[in-house]
A = this chain, B = another copy of it.
Amino acid sequence: MSEFLSLHDAVARYVQDGATVAMEGFTHLIPFAAGHEVIRQKKRDLTLIRMTPDIIYDQMIGAGCAKKVIFSWGGNPGVGSLHRLRDAVEKGWPCKIEILEHSHAAMACAFEAGAAGLPLAVFRGYIGSELPSVNDQIKFIECPFTGERLAAVPSVRPDVSIIHAQRADRQGNVLVEGIVGVQKEAVLAAKHSIVTVEEIVDDLGATPNACVIPSWAISAIAVAEKGALPSYTHGYYGRSNRFYKEWDAIARDRDTFTQWLDNNVFNAADNVGGQA
């Protein structure tokens, strides 16, 4: 059964220095409030897994939380580079980070395989790509029925996964709606999981086949209103495309970034995404 905790307590309990952490949300429902809490608690040496690092990992990398990033597309969507990720990879600021990169298909299948309790994902991928030459976690197997060569990658099995969702009921069951990405898979694949939600309600209002994650598959639930901003929550508030564009200038420079972090994360009174 999930436990209702404050975001502070949930992160303190489940995110350990050195842990492998997946904070998912495919453009939608990115758990920014939780990311900021991780930064505030000065977690270190994390292996961060995310298909699209997005601004959330740019912030965490810039704040020095990461030692390794596993990803498949590391940009600011529709805007350009993730400057903090690049600065860490290219110049080692604030610390050197290792990267391991995949394609989206590989990571999506690896999350699926993690949720399915398997050690590997098998798919038709990486044909002709040079990614296997720089990622030793990409292997190939032969189909015993057809002889076809198929790609294999290890499944994703994080120590802790963190996602944001619309709402939980009082028993701790969670509804995720809209672009659901690999969020359910991230939760099911992880040893522990934290779900931040916009609100707690009496009745989820879910249709028969809705994406509902049962309470007993979640470790902790924390209320974080607007916890996905500047990403968005379908049915609650829209994406701040403006902040995504502004981030380019903020993150381009170490000083403006540090300043932003101080003002919006370290000295912020609330848990909200913190876009000024």
Contacts and interface: CB of A to CB of B under 8 A. Distances in A.
Interface in A191-237: 207-211, 234
Given A118-B124, A145-B152, A178-B209, 17 more contacts: A117-B124, A118-B150, A119-B143, A120-B122, A120-B143, A120-B144, A120-B145, A120-B146, A122-B122, A139-B144, A141-B141, A143-B152, A144-B152, A145-B154, A178-B208, A180-B209, A209-B209
Minimum-distance CB pairs A-B, first 8: A119-B146, A139-B144, A119-B143, A145-B154, A207-B207, A120-B143, A122-B122, A178-B208
Q: Is the interface of A mostly helix, strand, loop or mixed?
A: loop
A148 interface: yes
A177 B207 contact: yes
B124 A148 contact: no
A123 interface: yes
A228 B173 CA distance: 33
A124 B180 CA distance: 26
Interface of A: 116-120, 122-124, 137, 139, 141, 143-146, 148, 150, 152, 154, 177-178, 180, 207-211, 234
Given A117-B124, A210-B209, A141 B144 contact: yes
A232 to B, nearest CB: 14
Contacts of A146: 119-120
Contacts of A119: 143, 145-146, 148, 150
Contacts of A144: 120, 139, 141, 152
